């Protein structure tokens, strides 16, 4: 009897945000618009960095990777979420659920590591500007990015493998917007304390370790900025870090709150809202933050728009 109960499910049912049809249609329109803005904004950032030679620096090389991670993360969750808003039967196949968990968890981990790499880049730029080009050479930048991608992917692969080897019995209802790791682990009909321990250890390694590296970098950065005599010098040094600091605060804050204490049992609604914040809102906000709070990016936009308006004027004349 026990053997019969521990069977593999072939699909899961995502309960999502609401069962009211009118609410689901409204959410579909809202999240579709946000997703389109996310894709457009991040690809425009990538295109702008490629086209403007002034942005061919380590900082913007890392930003290109961050933008690609953001749009990829959103794409791993939002299209399925949109489809389920308009579907009566909100099923996701077993393999699709595993793939979604792998990509979303992996891309999330990569983003945290990239933010730590970008903090180190800002630390060198502010604290050791004369040797910046020597320290942050192309080889080091490439190794840092590859390490971030490989580490995040391996962590995700381990988690996904362990999670989907758990017997789910006949429980296939996931009370979440996507195949989120804690929501899937809760379906298991066996003791999952070891899985939660692995989640905790992984959270410490992939969240807290980069977070403390970011924290140490900014302690040094702030200390250096305060030693600058001129007000203009302090303002200029701070502006080089403002965009990254804003993104770090938003990104690390919400995710640490969700994952660093799996035993704290936040409400299901809280988990859904935090996941939406990270999967829908953050990828949309990042291009805006880096565009509005960065003089170099704003200057590049103005230059590109000037060229475009000049080109259109020639065509119409």
From the list 92, 86, 79, the residue with the least C-alpha distance to 26 is 86
- Which structure tokens are listed for 102? 């792998």
pLDDT in tens, 252-271: 777 666 555 555 555 777 77
β partners of residue 13: 91, 173
pLDDT in tens, 133-156: 999 999 999 999 999 999 999 989
Least confident of 99-103, 213-217, 233-237, 257-261: 257-261
Is 2.60.40.10 the CATH classification of the domain at 11-300? no
Cα 44 to Cα 50: distance, rounded to the nearest angstrom: 10
The alpha-helical segments, DSSP class H, found in the chain are: 2-5, 21-51, 58-85, 94-127, 132-135, 138-163, 181-185, 193-203, 209-227, 231-259, 268-276, 282-292, 295-316
pTM of the model: 0.85
- Average pLDDT over the chain, rounded to whole? 83
The domain ranges of the chain are 11-300
Cα 111 to Cα 251: distance, rounded to the nearest angstrom: 9
102 or 249: which leads in pLDDT:
102
Residues 6+ apart with CB under 8 A from 203: 256, 259, 260, 262
pLDDT in tens, 171-205: 788 888 998 888 888 888 777 777 777 777 777 77
Residues 6+ apart with CB under 8 A from 225: 126, 234, 237, 238
Reduce the DSSP state of residue 15 to 3 states and report it: coil
CA atoms 126, 130, 136, 138: torsion sign: positive
Residues 6+ apart with CB under 8 A from 91: 11, 12, 13, 14
CA dihedral 111, 117, 123, 124 (to 10 degrees): -150
The answer, yes or no, to whether residue 291 has pLDDT greater than 60, is: yes
- Which structure tokens are listed for 224? 């250096």
pLDDT in tens, 74-89: 999 999 999 999 988 8
The answer, yes or no, to whether residue 298 has pLDDT greater than 50, is: yes
Return the percentage of the chain with pLDDT > 90, whole number: 32
């Amino acid at each position: 009897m026990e053997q019969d109960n521990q069977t593999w499910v072939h699909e899961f049912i995502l309960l999502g945000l609401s069962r009211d049809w009118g609410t689901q249609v409204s959410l579909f329109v809202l999240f579709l618009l946000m997703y389109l803005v996310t894709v457009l904004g991040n690809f425009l950032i990538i295109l702008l960095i490629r086209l403007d030679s002034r942005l061919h620096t380590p900082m913007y090389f890392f930003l290109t990777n961050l933008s690609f991670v953001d749009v990829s993360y959103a794409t791993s969750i939002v299209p399925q979420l949109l489809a389920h808003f308009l579907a009566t039967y909100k099923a996701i196949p077993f393999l699709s659920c595993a793939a979604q968990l792998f990509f979303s968890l992996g891309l999330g981990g990569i983003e945290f590591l990239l933010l730590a790499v970008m903090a180190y880049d800002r630390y060198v730029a502010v604290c050791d500007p004369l040797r910046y080009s020597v320290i942050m050479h192309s080889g080091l930048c490439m190794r840092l990015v590859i390490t971030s991608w490989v580490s995040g992917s391996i962590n995700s692969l381990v988690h996904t493998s362990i999670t989907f080897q758990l017997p789910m019995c006949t429980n296939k209802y996931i009370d979440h917007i996507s195949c989120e790791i804690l929501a899937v682990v809760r379906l298991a009909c066996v003791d999952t304390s070891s899985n939660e321990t692995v989640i905790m250890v992984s959270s410490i390694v992939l969240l807290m370790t980069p977070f403390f590296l970011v924290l140490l970098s900014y302690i040094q950065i702030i200390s250096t900025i305060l030693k600058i005599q001129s007000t203009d010098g302090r303002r200029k040094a701070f502006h080089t870090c403002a965009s990254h600091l804003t993104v770090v605060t938003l990104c690390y804050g919400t995710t640490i709150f969700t994952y660093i204490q799996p035993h704290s049992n936040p409400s299901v609604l809280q988990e859904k809202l935090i996941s939406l914040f990270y999967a829908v809102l953050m990828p949309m906000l990042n291009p805006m933050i880096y565009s509005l709070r960065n003089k170099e990016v704003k200057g590049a936009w103005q230059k590109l728009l000037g060229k475009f308006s000049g080109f259109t004027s020639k065509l119409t004349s």
